[in-house]
C-alpha cells in the first residue's frame, strides 16, 4: 500500500504557491489521504480566511467520491453530475459531513500507480484559476490524477467527457 508523504505534499504546495504568486492570486491548498484525513494545509498570505476550509473540503470531496466511482475524476465532474441528477443530495452530503463536501474546480485525486493515495483542493482564486494552478503543480511534481492502468469503462469516459464539454472544458478528456 502506497502512501502520500508530507514531504511530497510540501513540494506540491511549493509548486501551487509558485503558480498562484505568478498569477497574483493568494490561495490555500489542502492535501488529504485516500480516506479524507488531512495530510497538509497551507494558506498564503492575504488568502481569504475561509479558503483553508474550502480547500480542505474540496480535497475531502474528491477523496470521498472518487473512492465510490471512477466516474468522479475531479470536483467539476462531481458538481455537474449531482447538478444534473440530484442537487439536493450534494447539499445533504455537505450537511451530514459537517460541511466537508464542496464540489468545485481546483481539486483532483492523486494516484501512485493504480492506487489512489489522496486528493488535493485549492481555493482562493476563480474555479478556472484553481484548476490551472492544480494542473501546473501536478505536472511540476509528477503527481498523476488517473491510475496507470485506467480500467474506467468507456461508457463512463464518454459520460465524463460530456460533462467536461458542458462545463466548458472541451480540451479536457478522460
Report the distance separating Cα 65 and Cα 115, nearest Å.
Answer: 15
Give how far the C-alpha of residue 71 lies from the chain's centroid of Cα atoms, to the nearest Å.
14
Question: 28-32 and 115-123 as β-strands: parallel, antiparallel, unpaired?
Answer: antiparallel
| Cβ pair 32, 64 in contact under 8 A | no
Quote the cell numbers at residue 174.
Answer: 478522460
User: 27 falls in which pLDDT band (50, 70, 90)?
Assistant: very high
- Rounded to 5 degrees, φ, ψ at 135 are -65, -40
* Per-residue pLDDT tens digits for 43-100: 999 999 999 999 999 999 999 888 666 667 777 777 888 888 888 888 888 888 888 8
* pLDDT score of 104: 84
Sole residue written with cell 444534473: 84
* Per-residue pLDDT tens digits for 108-138: 999 999 999 999 999 999 988 998 999 999 9
* pLDDT score of 134: 95
* pLDDT score of 158: 86
* pLDDT score of 87: 82
* pLDDT score of 54: 95
Report the distance separating Cα 26 and Cα 49, nearest Å.
Answer: 11
- In DSSP terms, 109 is beta-bridged to 119
pTM for this model (two decimals): 0.88
* pLDDT score of 70: 67
| Cβ pair 39, 6 in contact under 8 A | yes
* pLDDT score of 68: 66
8 vs 72: which has the higher pLDDT: 8
117-146 burial string, b = 16+ CB within 10 Å, else e?
A: bbbbbbbbbebebbbbbbebbbeebebbbe
* pLDDT score of 69: 67
| Cβ pair 62, 74 in contact under 8 A | yes
Amino acid at each position: 500500500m502506497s502512501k502520500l508523504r508530507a514531504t511530497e505534499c510540501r513540494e506540491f504546495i511549493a509548486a501551487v504557491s509558485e503558480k498562484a504568486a505568478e498569477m497574483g492570486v493568494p490561495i490555500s491548498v489542502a492535501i488529504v489521504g485516500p480516506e479524507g484525513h488531512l495530510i497538509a494545509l497551507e494558506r498564503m498570505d492575504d488568502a481569504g480566511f475561509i479558503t483553508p476550509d474550502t480547500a480542505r473540503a474540496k480535497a475531502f470531496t474528491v477523496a470521498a467520491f472518487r473512492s465510490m466511482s471512477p466516474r468522479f475524476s475531479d470536483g467539476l465532474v462531481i458538481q455537474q453530475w449531482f447538478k444534473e441528477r440530484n442537487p439536493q443530495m450534494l447539499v445533504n452530503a455537505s450537511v451530514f459531513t459537517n460541511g466537508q463536501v464542496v464540489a468545485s474546480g481546483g481539486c483532483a485525486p492523486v494516484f501512485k500507480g493504480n492506487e489512489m493515495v489522496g486528493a488535493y483542493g485549492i481555493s482562493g482564486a476563480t474555479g478556472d484559476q484553481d484548476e490551472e494552478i492544480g494542473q501546473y503543480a501536478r505536472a511540476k511534481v509528477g503527481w498523476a490524477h488517473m491510475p496507470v492502468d485506467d480500467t474506467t469503462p468507456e461508457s463512463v469516459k464518454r459520460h465524463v467527457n460530456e460533462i467536461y464539454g458542458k462545463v466548458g472544458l472541451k480540451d479536457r478528456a478522460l
